[in-house]
Amino acid sequence: MQVEVPVFLRLAEKAKTLLFVDIEATGLRGDYNSALVVSCKPYDSPPESFSVLQPGNDKKLVREAKDRLEQADCWVTYYGKGYDIPFLNTRLLKWGYLPIDKRPHIDMYFSLKANLLTARKSQAHLLEWLETPEQKLTVGASLWNDILHNFAPAMKTMIQRCESDAKGLEQLYLKTRHILREIKR
């Protein structure tokens, strides 16, 4: 049986199995870098965040994130097909775990890029342009460097940033879900 996208989304929203996902990591490649925070925000619920106790030691974090992602019926990310999910799978492989079981996955970057003609494609730009209450929390280069020598205060901000991104992602979804045409894994 094929279910139309609006029907599927309504069911996933009602069941709160639609999960908005964002990660923060020490860099862009899972072999040379590690995850710092993973925020998972169920539809219309507060975010749940998993974080490391020490940079580089993300074994427990990626396992917890995998377990949480596999509880959802559908993920919503922003460039998550190109970064978040492959990064997590790379780190899972490092620690000897299986990759995350696939789910229907709405990548707002690709969905909006295909349906809108905006000057910029970033999540921050779209949230600002659409005037959503939650805006992207930007952090400077100094904070990224503080992760290595001033860990606790820097991580507090990283968790806030990751949760802010997940909340903003939900608001972006709410403003644009009517133009979503298909959901792929």
> Mean pLDDT per 10-residue run, the chain (185 residues)?
84 94 95 96 97 94 98 97 98 98 95 92 95 91 88 94 97 94 79
Give the model's pLDDT for residue 88.
98
Show the tokens assigned to 94.
């490092």
Q: Which helix (H) or strand (E) holds 181?
A: none
Q: Quick one: tokens of 9?
A: 């989304």
C-alpha dihedral sign at 155, 38, 26, 171: negative
Instruction: Give the model's pLDDT for residue 2.
Output: 76
pLDDT for the residue numbered 149: 86
Rg of the chain over CA atoms, in angstroms?
Answer: 16
Was domain 5-179 assigned CATH 1.20.1070.10?
no
For residue 1, the model assigns a pLDDT of 58
Burial class (CB in 10 A: 0-12, 13-18, 19+), 140: exposed
Question: Hey, where are the domains in the chain?
Answer: 5-179
Cβ(55)–Cβ(2) below 8 Å: no
Quick one: which of 103, 76, 92, 94 has its CA closest to 22? Answer: 76
